[in-house]
Chains A and B, each alone.
Chain A
Amino acid sequence: MSNNSSYNELVLKFANVNGSGSASANTFCAKALFRMGIPVSAKNIFPSNIQGLPTWYEIKISESEQLARRDGIDVMVAMNAQTYEQDINEVLENGTFIYDSSLLRDFKRDDINIIGIPIAKLCADAYTDSRQRQLFKNIVYLGSLSLLIGIDFDVIKQLLSDQFGSKPKLYDQNIKALEIGRQYVKENIKYPLEKQVRKSNKNTNKIMINGNEAAGLGAVYAGATVASWYPITPSTSLVESFEKHAMKLRKNEDGTFNAAIMQAEDELSAVGMAIGANWNGARAFTATSGPGISLMSEFIGLAYFAEIPLVLFNIQRGGPSTGMPTRTQQSDVLSCAYASHGDTKQVLLFPADPNECFYFAIESFDYAERLQTPVIVLSDLDIGMNDWVVDKLEWDPNYKHDRGKVLNSKELENAKDFGRYKDVDGDGIPYRTIPATHPELGAYFTRGTSHNEYGGYTENGVIHAKTLDRLEKKFDTGKSLLPQPEIIINSPKTKIGIINFGSTTKAINETLNHLSSKGIGINHMRIRAFPFSKKIDNFINEHEVIFIVEQNRDAQMKKLLVNEIDSISSKLLSILNYDGMPLTAQFLIDKISEHLEEDIDINQLIAPPIKIV
């Protein structure tokens, strides 16, 4: 072992061909590292294609829990000759480049460690079946890698037995392939590499999960019974998660299910079904991404105006138009906040990670029913489809789902003069009834045309304006009801703040740690919901200059803040990234440092952090 060995701080990247079976091997690797107790974060960078195009999988391994993406690769496992050139260029000085040397290649980099393993040849010798030869290549490189960087073989074996416990033949075959890879390294290559991993204890009470899995499960815990959807990357796996769990956990003895999953003919129909089901008293949702939101707009406006609860998950991807279906962005903030024509505003929730996806999925139904309006959960591809290490999911057995103001038969009899759109309590939220509640009372007419307090059609401008005002009041009620921002004061004296939302949080934390180590304290606020809470106004008012970090070109959150908060002037400085890749801390550090160094006015606002890390 060389003296330059370093542990649990590296970026590992796999370069593969899409559809070659690499995905499960790579996830397997991340899971093994996770089980070793090491903080990891995995990013799948995949093409919009089924077979043949390049695909990558990055694993950041960081004992110090700096888990945002990072450019510059320490160990590259290059299994796709099409991308060798690009892949080798990403390897950092002194890093390692592992490739399939069945076909020998001459690479023009002598500042890195190049390791050839004749993987295709090894598989051709070991297997006769052509499919096996292809598939087990992935397991062979995993075997080699396990020895090269020190992944615990017992952990791998345990994982395999958990996965194939009921299929001993598959287990044996996989062990054999791993051994082939290990054997070759033992006999031919100096190992381990300088950058290694070793067991740690950071993952107690943690799980490894992606946001769509968590949100789908959350919808089950929310008591949702109807899911209507139209397939679109990257939201599809959310409904699949709901379906998987609901079919397992909601099966009745007679073989029927306490859930209905309906694949609609398009997003218009998907959202129409969700609205119909919510109107009729079930908890229903739909999940989509940008193009679907555009199609759903008319219906979202109907739900807003007719005050029908609706939960909609938007797993954002790169736009505009079909855009980059397999890359991540936060570019639907405005189109969701103001979805649909006329004076409309929608409730938005911004989960930061899969853990919060679970809780927001549950709460979104409560908010939708309490406020009788659409709630759009704005996740993104990075959260939705990548495996994150997060706190395990908790459930409070005393949790009471909030079904909002729904009158039952008795309450209808006691109500003096039921009017569907009357503001009885002064919070802008009326009472609703579910069809068939009472033989004579509570029926009303739901419409997207203008209506009076009883749901009757009206063309009276005064009544119309009154309805719009009440809807605004109801929206204001949401400000204190919805999730409050998370505020971290790193320096009580600093006049500089930073705002973010959603998936960029890891990069922000890493950046703020870095700046702290340079003596620069910046206060942080993570926005979790729209309409904006008073605390958001306050944070902005308490700082002179605020960086606002977004994964879009148009500074959409900044625009929403400027639009919605009167006291904001020009103190929001946008930091924008929209290349479709999860945000790196280095990008943020560079952008912030430019401002701090080049702008004297801002420089004077700096104060040291409470704690220098």
Chain B
Amino acid sequence: MTFIKKPIFRHPSLPKNDLGLTYRDYEGLVSTLCAGCGHDSITASIVQSCYDLSLPAHKIAKLSGIGCSSKTTNYFLNQSHGFNTVHGRMPSVATGANLANRDLIYIGVSGDGDTASIGLGQYCHAIRRQLNVTYIVENNGTYGLTKGQFSATNDKKSKNKKGADNPFGAIDLALMAIELGAGFVARSFSGDKEQLVPLIKKAIAYNGFSLIDVISPCVTFNNHPHSTKSYDYIREHNTAMGELDFVPEKENIQAKYSEGESVDVTLHDGNSINLQKLDGNYDPRDQDKAVSILRKYRGEGKVVTGLLYINEDANEMHETLKTSTTPLNAIPMNDLCPGIDELDKLNKSYT
């Protein structure tokens, strides 16, 4: 049962992060997903990222919709407030939560059904507003929780478990996010922790909407030989765009990479990202390039992973709205309520 807490057993020699916490301190309840489900690997990568970054868990809010993927917010960060909303509507709840307190870190977890079908509208509009959230889609091309129907990210040539063809074309959430102005767009694979963890860390540090579309095979319904979202298919068709390392300002490790092979991206919040390129010309700051690369590889049946696009000077939602720097939920009532003199003036204006 999901409310069973994991036994806390701390080996004295477990490594600790800057907050003096161990990896286990960032874990959640025991997963109830199928053994081998890609989603559980993503959970582990989220735990790893938060541990590595020494984030105070209580300053993180984790939100999700409905689906196997959306359940996973319960399986990491026990010390964080979590919110399983309704199917496809996590973006609006996350937007409201963020409006109330701009100082928290928001991690949104969703599925391909949750985001690309029922929640597509909310997804688009959260991006448009540059909501400051790390939005992780655990993309398995199927509706896991309702037992294997095609989802809108399922490729046209793919089949379901029973061998039936998917008759409709796929929505590419990353491509869409770039078009809609998301500041940070990445694609990854649940089985590639080496790539995923740095991406999550950077996404969390990024001020604005960061999407990570993680291909996350559903072992029960969509991991068969005719699926384009199976472990084997992704391993065979994965084209990584670059290796990136998240470099917080304080410890710049750029020297590790030789000149000419890397691009330094300095973000307007001061952090920088160092991208080691595999493709000699790939610069993730070029929106058109990102779009064309995605289109090109899709045509070849390949899955490009890595950081696809980053906008160094996107304005996150609060900057656009000009909300107070103090979180709205922390402003005392006395400062919010105009009082009797103002009301007298207003009464006069109504005569």
Extra A-B contacts (12), CB below 8 Å, given A220-B338, A392-B350: A221-B343, A223-B336, A224-B336, A225-B329, A258-B335, A272-B85, A273-B96, A284-B96, A302-B85, A435-B80, A436-B104, A440-B79
Within 8 A of A (CB), among B114-148: 121-122, 124-125, 129
Contact of A276 among B80, B92, B124, B337 (CB under 8 A): B92
Task: Give the number of A-B contacts (CB < 8 Å).
Answer: 226
- Chain A residues within an 8 Å CB radius of B101: 280-282, 435-436
Point out the residues of chain A lying under 8 angstroms from B343, CB to CB.
221, 393-395
CA separation between A434 and B321, bound complex, in Å? 23
CA distance A274 to B92 in the complex (A): 9
Q: Say whether A269 faces chain B, with CB atoms less than 8 Å apart.
A: yes
B78 contact set on A, CB distance < 8 A: 443
* Closest chain B residue, CB of each to CB of A306: B83
Least Cβ–Cβ distance between B79 and chain A, in angstroms: 5
Q: Does B260 contact A (CB under 8 A)?
A: no
> 1/0 per position for B89-109, CB-CB distance to A under 8 A?
101111111111101100000
Within 8 A of B (CB), among A423-453: 433-440, 443-449, 452
* A208-B351, A282-B99 as given contacts; A435 in contact with B104, CB under 8 Å: yes
Q: Interface stretch among B55-63, B211-219, B279-287, B293-301? A: B55-63
List 30 interface pairs A-B (beta carbons < 8 Å), by A numbering: A35-B351, A203-B351, A207-B350, A224-B336, A228-B95, A255-B322, A256-B325, A258-B335, A260-B328, A265-B122, A272-B89, A272-B91, A272-B96, A272-B122, A273-B99, A274-B96, A275-B93, A276-B98, A282-B100, A282-B329, A392-B347, A395-B343, A401-B337, A435-B81, A439-B79, A443-B78, A445-B83, A447-B84, A448-B84, A456-B1
Q: Note all chain A residues with C-beta closer than 8 A to B98.
A: 276
B278 at the interface (CB under 8 A from A): no
Contacts of A276 in B (CB 8 A): 63, 83, 92-100
In the bound complex, CA of A280 to CA of B83 (Å) = 11
Known: A302-B85, A436-B58, A443-B81. A280 touches B100 (CB 8 A): yes
Q: Does residue B14 face the partner (Cβ distance < 8 Å to A)? A: no
B255 at the interface (CB under 8 A from A): no
A298 at the interface (CB under 8 A from B): yes
**Bound CA–CA A222/B86 (angstroms):** 28
Q: Tell me which of B79, B335, B340 contacts A443 (CB under 8 A).
A: B79
Residue of B nearest to A221 (CB): B337
> How would residues 316 to 332 of chain B score, 1 for a CB under 8 Å from any chain A CB and 0 otherwise?
00100111111011010
Residues of A within 8 A of B58 (CB): 435-440, 443
The smallest beta-carbon distance between B186 and chain A, in angstroms, is 25
Cβ of B339 within 8 Å of any chain A Cβ, yes or no, is: yes
A302 contacts B86, CB within 8 Å? yes
B74–A457 contact, CB under 8 A? yes
Q: A220-244 toward B: CB 8 Å interface, digit per residue (1/0)?
A: 1111111010000000000000000
Bound state CA distance, A449 and B87, in angstroms? 12
* Contact A280 to B92, CB < 8 A, known contacts A435-B61, A443-B58, A443-B78: no
Q: Is A454's beta carbon under 8 Å from chain B?
A: yes
Chain B: CB-nearest residue to A397: B340
Digitize B1-44: 1 where CB-to-A-CB distance is under 8 Å, 0 elsewhere. Answer: 11100000000000000000000000000000000000000000
| Interface size grouping (class) on chain A | 35 or more
Let me know if A269 and B89 touch, CB within 8 A. yes
- Output the nearest chain B residue to A449 by Cβ-Cβ distance: B84
Contacts of A220 in B (CB 8 A): 336-338
Quick check: B92 and A268 within 8 Å, CB to CB? yes
A226–B84 CB distance below 8 A:
no
> Does B236 lie at the interface of the complex (its beta carbon under 8 Å from any beta carbon of A)?
no
Q: Bound state CA distance, A234 and B93, in angstroms?
A: 25
A393 to chain B, nearest CB (A): 6
Closest partner residue, chain A, to B335 (CB atom): A258
Measured CB to CB, the nearest residue on chain B to A403 is B333
With known contacts A284-B100, A299-B89, A397-B339, A269–B329 Cβ distance under 8 A: no
**Interchain CB contact under 8 A, A273 and B93:** yes
In the complex the two chains form, is B99's CB within 8 Å of A277's CB?
Answer: yes
Residues of B within 8 A of A (CB): 1-3, 56-59, 61, 63, 73-74, 78-86, 89, 91-101, 103-104, 121-122, 124-125, 129, 318, 321-326, 328-329, 331, 333, 335-340, 342-343, 346-347, 350-351
A272 to B66, CA, bound (A): 14
Q: Which A residues are in CB contact (< 8 Å) with B85?
A: 272, 275, 302, 448
| Contact A268:B89 (CB < 8 A) given known A281-B100, A435-B101, A457-B74 | yes
**Contacting residue for A209 out of B318, B322, B337, B350, CB 8 A:** B350
Q: Is the CB of B323 within 8 A of A260?
A: yes
Given contacts A262-B95, A268-B92, A439-B58, contact A256 B323 (CB under 8 A): yes
A250 near B336: Cβ-Cβ < 8 Å = yes
| CB <8 Å contact, B84 and A228 | no
Q: Which residues of the partner chain B approach A287 to less than 8 Å between Cβ atoms?
A: none
In the complex, A270→B125 CA distance in Å? 12
- Asked whether B97 lies within 8 Å of A223 as measured between CB atoms, the reply is no
Q: Name the one of B61, B322, B324 contacting A280, with C-beta atoms under 8 angstroms.
A: B61
Q: Does A257 contact B (CB under 8 A)?
A: yes
Q: Is A304 on the interface with B (CB-CB < 8 A)?
A: no
A259 at the binding interface (Cβ < 8 Å): yes
Minimum distance in angstroms from B247 CB to a CB of chain A: 27
* Contact assessment for B121 and A265 in the assembled complex, using a CB-CB cutoff below 8 Å: yes
A563 at the interface (CB under 8 A from B): no
- Chain B residues with Cβ below 8 Å from A298 are 86, 89
Alpha-carbon distance A228/B197, docked complex (angstroms): 35
| Closest Cβ–Cβ distance, residue B69 to chain A (whole Å) | 15
**Per-position binary interface string of chain A over residues 175-207, scored 1 when its CB falls under 8 Å from any chain B CB and 0 otherwise:** 000000000000000000000000000010011
The residues of B that contact A129 with a CB separation of less than 8 Å are none
- Cβ contact within 8 Å between A221 and B84: no
Contact string against B for A residues 406-417, beta-carbon threshold 8 Å, 1 for contact and 0 otherwise: 000000000000
The complex places the Cα of A273 from the Cα of B92 at a distance, in Å, of 5
**CB of A196 to closest CB in B, whole Å:** 23
| A252 interface residue per 8 A CB criterion | yes
- Check A456 against B3 for contact (C-beta < 8 Å): yes
Q: How far is B96's CA from A298's CA once the two chains are assembled, in angstroms?
A: 17
Contact B350 A208 (CB under 8 A): yes
How far is A35 from B98 in the complex, measured between Cα atoms in Å?
46
Contacts of A458 on B, CB cut-off 8 Å? Answer: 1, 3
Q: Is the CB of A282 within 8 A of B328?
A: yes
Query: What B residues does A265 contact at CB under 8 A?
Result: 121-122, 124-125
Q: Does A566 sit at the interface, judged by CB under 8 A?
A: no
**Choice from A436, A437, A445 contacting B84 with Cβ under 8 Å:** A445
CB <8 Å contact, B100 and A258: no
Cβ of B322 to closest chain A Cβ, rounded Å: 5
Question: Which residue of B has the minimal Cβ distance to A446?
Answer: B83
Chain A residues with CB under 8 A of B350: 207-209, 213, 392
The answer to whether B329 touches A446 (Cβ under 8 A) is: no
In the complex, what distance in Å separates the CA atom of A268 from the CA atom of B340?
36
Do A269 and B338 touch (CB < 8 A)? no
Chain A residues positioned under 8 Å from B328 (CB to CB): 225-226, 258-260, 277, 282
Give the residue name and chain of the B residue nearest to A396 (CB).
B340
- A393 lies within 8 A of B92 (CB): no
When chains A and B are docked, how far (Å) is the Cα of A280 from the Cα of B81? 10
Going nearest first, the 5 A-B pairs with the smallest beta carbon separation are A276-B96, A456-B3, A272-B92, A273-B96, A282-B100
Nearest CB in chain B: distance from A243 CB, A:
12
Q: Which residues of B contact A224 (CB under 8 A)?
A: 336
